[in-house]
Copies of this chain bind each other. A is one copy, B any other.
Amino acid sequence: MAEADIHLVERLLDSDQVFQGHFLDVRRDRVMLPDGKTAHREYIRHPGAVMIVPLLDDGRVLMERQYRYPMGRVMLEFPAGKLDAGEDPLVCGQRELLEETGYSAAEWAYAGVLHNAIAYSDEGIHIYFARSLRKGQQKLDDGEFLELVTHTPQELDTLAASGELTDAKTLIGLLWLHRWQQGAWPLDWQPA
């Protein structure tokens, strides 16, 4: 933390785990504000996740339609999944792409990380691109249901502009796809 930011920083006083479910770990910390007063901060501890932007040889991208219970509807998304404890993000991306879609990729490129709910979660989603894809066998987790679809980047652009594509990580995948295709944001491709 830059010393210049002292006027913004909140400091931990004590921490309480208020809920531990199968999935959500909810904390409530007491913090000291920059003015010396105290406040509480409630937030989710999250292991982090990986999203893959899978580029098919015909120029289309591989995506998923999945029912998202909190939203109460099917959402269009790039493949993604949570990091296992201690798992390398690239290994996670390769595992999730294979499990959810059945595809493996010969070339991978790391784009960056996004933080999707900074007010109440420490989740970071690593963004990978994958190409030279080869179809294999999907291995969905028990209780996981999803449908594979493909779109052209232009179709995704139209779906985003019209409000039919609203998933934040997927929109940021589209931003990266745009900027990479325009030559503005380079990707460093590596063999798998």
Residues on B with beta carbons closer than 8 Å to the beta carbon of A172? 168, 171-172, 175
Contact B163 A37 (CB under 8 A): no
Residues on B with beta carbons closer than 8 Å to the beta carbon of A66? 8
Q: A166 near B: Cβ within 8 Å?
A: yes
Contact A121 B175 (CB under 8 A): no
Residues on B with beta carbons closer than 8 Å to the beta carbon of A42? 21-24
Contact of A19 among B8, B19, B29, B147 (CB under 8 A): B19
* A32 shortest CB reach to chain B, Å: 11
Within A1-56, the residues touching B (CB, 8 Å) are 1-2, 5, 7-10, 18-19, 21-24, 26, 28-29, 31, 33-35, 37, 39-44
Do A115 and B23 form a contact, CB below 8 Å, given A8-B146, A69-B29, A161-B185?
no
Contact B115 A117 (CB under 8 A): no
| Among A71-79, A93-101, A130-138, the stretch in contact with B | A71-79
Mostly, the A contact residues are mixed
Chain A: number of interface residues, binned into ranges = 35 or more
Q: A65 near B: Cβ within 8 Å?
A: yes
Contact of A5 among B18, B67, B121, B174 (CB under 8 A): B67
Within A104-161, the residues touching B (CB, 8 Å) are 112-124, 143, 145-147, 157, 160-161
Do A41 and B70 form a contact, CB below 8 Å, given A8-B147, A146-B8, A168-B115?
yes
**26 pairs, A vs B, C-beta closer than 8 Å:** A1-B73, A1-B74, A2-B74, A5-B67, A18-B19, A18-B21, A21-B28, A22-B40, A22-B42, A23-B42, A23-B120, A24-B42, A34-B145, A41-B70, A44-B70, A70-B122, A112-B161, A114-B168, A114-B171, A116-B116, A117-B121, A120-B121, A161-B184, A161-B185, A172-B175, A174-B175
